């Protein structure tokens, strides 16, 4: 065997990305070779060049990878803890939620307590609507009207008809001050009930610029035309018009109202429909009942698990100063 007189230091090819990034070779390994010194040095130089080239090629790849944050989650990657509401998780779903969806706003207070499911007959797009309501004074009253819009159903609604353009109408019940009748009350009693922050138009803040444009009477019914501005989800004021038809059912200390409306820009087209709808509004019949006008007495309370009982009638609390 030839005598081994020269020890050569060679470098291993990098095997980890960390070694590549450092641009420094790993610890040397001692290998005995019988090659000439010139060939050995030439080989070592080539291998060192290959090592540095591989490291330089791997550097852009490493820099493109996300940094690992504390806890093992790459920086910029979202987990369940990154979200605080449904809008962030699924904007394509919640971005179009409107006033008719419980996910987009709190449930309005209309004072309506239903004894049974709201009934509709005739055309689906313009049905005759009938609803039996519990009223103060030991009275159950059946309110009816010929709707110009489809009936909306669900736990967000009490008695409401509406189209996709935002035109529609809903029933509202308000308690009269003790010893007073509807004929004795000023228009502000009705506007205060309809435009409360808990009401249908107050989901995003109290309506503003409320003005009674006209007042009229048709038998026992009082009719008000009102202009106001309602806040949108984005905080913008939206000019609207409303038509309020109010009646006091016989034997009751409550007022039942049909509140119709549209945006001001659509009022000219919607007004004839809303006035026709209001003129058809009536209390078809009344009967005595021992049931109190409380949320827990609504037929939906146990059947569908909604309408938590309130300590007091929030609508009646709105009546003061008369």
C-alpha to C-alpha distance for 139 and 289, rounded to whole angstroms: 5
Total-model pTM: 0.64
**Which ranges of the chain does DSSP label H, i.e. alpha helix?**
17-22, 37-64, 86-89, 91-94, 187-194, 267-279, 300-303
Q: How far apart are the first and last CA of the chain?
A: 121
C-alpha to C-alpha distance for 50 and 44, rounded to whole angstroms: 10
C-alpha to C-alpha distance for 225 and 243, rounded to whole angstroms: 5
- pLDDT at position 46 is 56
State mean pLDDT over 137-156: 94
Reply yes or no on whether the pLDDT at 158 is more than 50. yes
State mean pLDDT over 24-53: 50
Neighbours of 202 (CB within 10 A): 19
C-alpha to C-alpha distance for 143 and 148, rounded to whole angstroms: 16
Please give the backbone phi and psi of residue 176, each rounded to the nearest 5 degrees, phi first: -80, 150
C-alpha to C-alpha distance for 32 and 310, rounded to whole angstroms: 92
State mean pLDDT over 276-280: 97
**Confidence tier at 155 by pLDDT (50, 70, 90):** confident
Contact criterion met (CB below 8 Å) for 160 and 168: yes
C-alpha to C-alpha distance for 101 and 98, rounded to whole angstroms: 6
Maximum distance among all Cα pairs of the chain, rounded to whole angstroms = 128
- pLDDT at position 31 is 43
- pLDDT at position 235 is 87
- pLDDT at position 303 is 66
Q: Which of 82, 6, 86 is nearest to 41 (CA)?
A: 6
Q: Is 50 helix (H, G, I), strand (E, B) or coil?
A: helix
């Amino acid at each position: 065997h030839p005598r081994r007189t020269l020890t050569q230091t060679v470098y291993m090819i990098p095997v980890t990305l960390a070694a590549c990034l450092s641009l420094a070779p790993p610890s040397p390994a001692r290998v005995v070779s019988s090659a000439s010194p010139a060939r050995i040095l030439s080989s070592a130089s080539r291998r060192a060049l290959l090592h540095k080239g591989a490291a330089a090629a791997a550097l852009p790849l490493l820099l493109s990878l996300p940094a690992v944050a504390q806890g093992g989650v790459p920086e910029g990657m979202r987990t369940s803890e990154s979200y605080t509401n449904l809008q962030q998780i699924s904007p394509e779903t919640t971005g179009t939620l409107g006033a008719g969806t419980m996910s987009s706003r709190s449930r309005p207070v209309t004072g309506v307590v239903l004894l049974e499911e709201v009934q509709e007959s005739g055309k689906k797009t313009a049905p005759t609507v009938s609803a039996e309501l519990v009223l103060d004074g030991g009275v159950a009253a059946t309110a009816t009207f010929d709707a110009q819009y489809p009936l909306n159903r669900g736990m967000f609604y009490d008695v409401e008809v509406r189209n996709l353009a935002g035109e529609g109408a809903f029933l509202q019940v308000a308690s009269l001050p003790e010893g007073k009748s509807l004929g004795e009350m000023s228009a502000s009693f009705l506007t205060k009930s309809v435009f409360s922050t808990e009401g249908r138009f107050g989901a995003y803040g109290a309506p503003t610029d409320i003005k009674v444009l006209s007042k009229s009477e048709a038998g026992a019914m009082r009719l008000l035309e009102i202009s106001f501005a309602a806040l949108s989800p984005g905080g913008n004021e939206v000019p609207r018009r409303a038509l309020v038809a109010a009646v006091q059912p016989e034997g009751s200390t409550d007022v039942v109202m049909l509140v119709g409306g549209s945006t001001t820009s659509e009022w000219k087209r919607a007004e004839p429909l809303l006035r026709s709808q209001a003129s058809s509004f009536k209390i078809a019949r009344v009967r005595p009942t021992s049931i109190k006008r409380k949320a827990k007495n609504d037929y939906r309370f146990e059947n569908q698990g909604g309408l938590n009982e309130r300590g007091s009638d929030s609508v009646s609390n709105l009546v003061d100063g008369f």
